[in-house]
Structure 1
Amino acid sequence: MMEEYFAPLEADRFAFPEGRATFGQVVRKYVEGVSFPELEGAHIAIFGVGEERGTVQNAGCAAAPDAVREKLYALKTGRYAYNILDLGNLRLGATLQDTYAAVASIHADLIREGILPVILGGSQDLTFAQYVAYQKLEETVNIVAVDASFDLGATEDPIGSDTYLGKIVLHEPNFLFNFSNLGYQTYFTGSDQVELMEKLYFDTYRLGQVQRDMEEAEPIVRNADILSFDLTAIRRSDAPGNGKATPNGFYGEEACQIVRYAGLSDKLSSFGLYELNPAFDEHGQTAHLAAQMIWYLTEGYYNRKKDVPLKSKTDFVKYRVALKRADQEIVFYKSQKSERWWMEVPYPNSKVRYHRHHLVPCSYHDYEIALRDEMPERWWQAFQKLS
């Protein structure tokens, strides 16, 4: 039973009187003296994983989940029919691998129930556990990480918050279709790692590139099954609660915008927020920002349009663009519900498991590029992975 994985929250700390229009009042929480919440019909399940054995230079991040809850449950609710659970805090395994196994098992069960798991970490190596859950579901997945660096590490390095991506790449069986990084900072990565990411056909977007046009980040995030957000990607002035916080990074409102994009995506089925460290958090500022990010995630979730063209193309306008120089036709779909765009990328019949990835989220800008008889970079990157 799932209940066995979790420790209940302190009743006095997270008790909110009825009648207050706050998250603390509407979220069904597993607290002391209360039965474990029923999963049936739930939309989102929050749970804390105070695991920091894999962290690098950020000891103390294990205390983050309850710090975020204190701020989150004081926030006002919107006008939605909320059905959100808080399952409590995971009982950590005897080893780090035991914790990963528990997180993966819980994730797989929640996803099967149609529930969006939201992890309050803990360290970012828990992304590995998010990924392993999909092995149980037998699905190839896309991961988007908002991070100032790539966390590849060396083959011989043990798994940790700065090496987890390398372990995902090497994991067998491999069911990673694509990895995208949003917000990397070159002085933390180096040209050799950028070249390696290109060889792996992964998509990487520098901090300045994303900040110049935040709307262009939306199709990237919309393509994610898993979103992993390292709070180190946010500048120290907005999120000081991190042992590795630096002067540059996303602004707080940009972080909230990215997370709202994630919530809006019908494809997203796993979310993790990592590396918050209350020991460094001045006046609880980072915990408050993290709580607002979760607020925006739920706000996006309850504004989903259910307009994925893979399921039905009834509510879409189809556009065909013939590229003369490439001797290629690109088919675009525009949703009449949300005005979001997708483009169709061909794939060999022998790779039927990639079917769910051949309709690639894009933007109107990609359509404009095609009209100029140029190949959109997003189309070409997807074609290389599918072929």
Structure 2
Amino acid sequence: MRPAIALIGLPSDINSSFVRGPAAAPAAIRAALWSDRGSLSCENGMEAGADFTLGDSGDVPLREDASDDATIAAAVRAIIAGGAVPLALGGDHAITRAVVAGVHAAHGPLTILHFDAHPDLYDNFEDNPRSHASPFARIMEDGHASRLVQVGIRTLTHHCREQAQRFGVEIVPMADFTPDVVPVLRGPLYISVDIDGIDPSEAPGVSHPEPGGLTLRELLAVLRRQTAPVVGADVVEYNPQFDTHGRTAILAAKLVRELSALIAKNAA
């Protein structure tokens, strides 16, 4: 049986700070993914449809309140129960806590590989503990991750540095970055990609651009080294209103393909 990956759209940005917009991302990523301008071939030689199934579970109907966490987790559990690996399309990064909760229910404590400009470890950002700046603090408090490795971080505040020490988070900063400094991780592995982890010269369509980031090639090099079973993933924080000529949507769609191919390869 071919490995199966199921996309799940989570169009929520109620927990965004400064500006909203990522709720429009799932539709824009899908349009780029299925566009005839590209193909479904992947860099590891696999091709969606031929070597693995890339399905789409549609968007989860969300109310944009605290009840969404249980709704998202239940939808993720249903995908896993159906034999597929969930690949979530955010939405802002707040959705990751609920996705991880759903994956954890099936697989137990996870190793998480997190790409981002920001550590998202705030205890309470702008009086909102569910903020998109806080999901990894909640994930660690929930006991859903046995190891958290963050790559591309370049905005580490004193508070988040203290939080990282509190939770034992391993941070790979951008200063002197090379892909081989990122460890090869054990599974079950969950991968979270915040688009603003990539330099805004390549991915301008984000709410909080931070210069000096990863290139897409560097991110893919890190992924290529991972050999553990990938049991879930997300691509978050794409904001179409700041994109130029759909560049970031195309990049996000490539990430979806390459994450899917990695899931399929490591399941073999």
So what's the TM-score if we normalise by structure 1? 0.61
In 2: Cα distance, 1:295 partner to 1:279 partner: 23
| Distance verdict in 2 for CA 1:158–1:304, change over 3 Å | closer
In 1: Cα distance, 2:3 partner to 2:71 partner: 20
Matches within 5 A, 1:289-328: 289-304=251-266, 306=268
Matches within 5 A, 1:1-387: 43-74=4-35, 75-78=38-41, 79=47, 80-92=50-62, 94-137=63-106, 139-155=108-124, 157-171=128-142, 174-185=143-154, 188-209=155-176, 211-212=177-178, 214-217=179-182, 219-220=184-185, 223=187, 225-261=189-225, 265-304=227-266, 306=268
In 1: Cα distance, 2:189 partner to 2:87 partner: 13
Unaligned runs of 5+ in 2: 42-46
Unaligned runs of 5+ in 1: 1-39, 307-387
Q: Which amino acid aligns with 1:55?
A: S
CA contact (8 A) 2:22 2:239 kept: yes
Aligned position for 1:311: none
CA contact (8 A) 1:65 1:120 kept: yes
Paired-residue identity, %: 23
CA contact (8 A) 1:235 1:247 kept: yes
How far the C-alpha of 1:272 sits from its partner, in A, is 0.6
In 2: Cα distance, 1:181 partner to 1:60 partner: 24
CA contact (8 A) 2:9 2:26 kept: yes
Q: 1:283 is paired with a residue of what secondary structure? A: coil
| Distance verdict in 2 for CA 1:216–1:287, change over 3 Å | same
Higher RCO, Cα 8 Å, sep 6+:
2
Comparing 268-277 and 106-115, the one that deviates more: 106-115
In 2: Cα distance, 1:114 partner to 1:261 partner: 25
Q: Which amino acid aligns with 2:74?
A: S
Give the alignment's Cα RMSD to 1 decimal: 2.4
How far the C-alpha of 1:87 sits from its partner, in A, is 1.4
So what's the TM-score if we normalise by structure 2? 0.86
CA contact (8 A) 1:119 1:271 kept: yes
How far the C-alpha of 1:294 sits from its partner, in A, is 1.2
CA contact (8 A) 1:184 1:204 kept: yes
Q: Which amino acid aligns with 1:81?
A: D
Q: Which amino acid aligns with 2:13?
A: E
| Distance verdict in 2 for CA 1:274–1:259, change over 3 Å | farther
Q: 1:142 is paired with a residue of what secondary structure? A: strand
State the number of aligned residues: 257
How far the C-alpha of 1:200 sits from its partner, in A, is 2.5
Aligned position for 1:27: none
How far the C-alpha of 1:138 sits from its partner, in A, is 6.6
Q: Which amino acid aligns with 1:246?
A: E
In 1: Cα distance, 2:58 partner to 2:159 partner: 41
Structure number with larger C-alpha Rg: 1
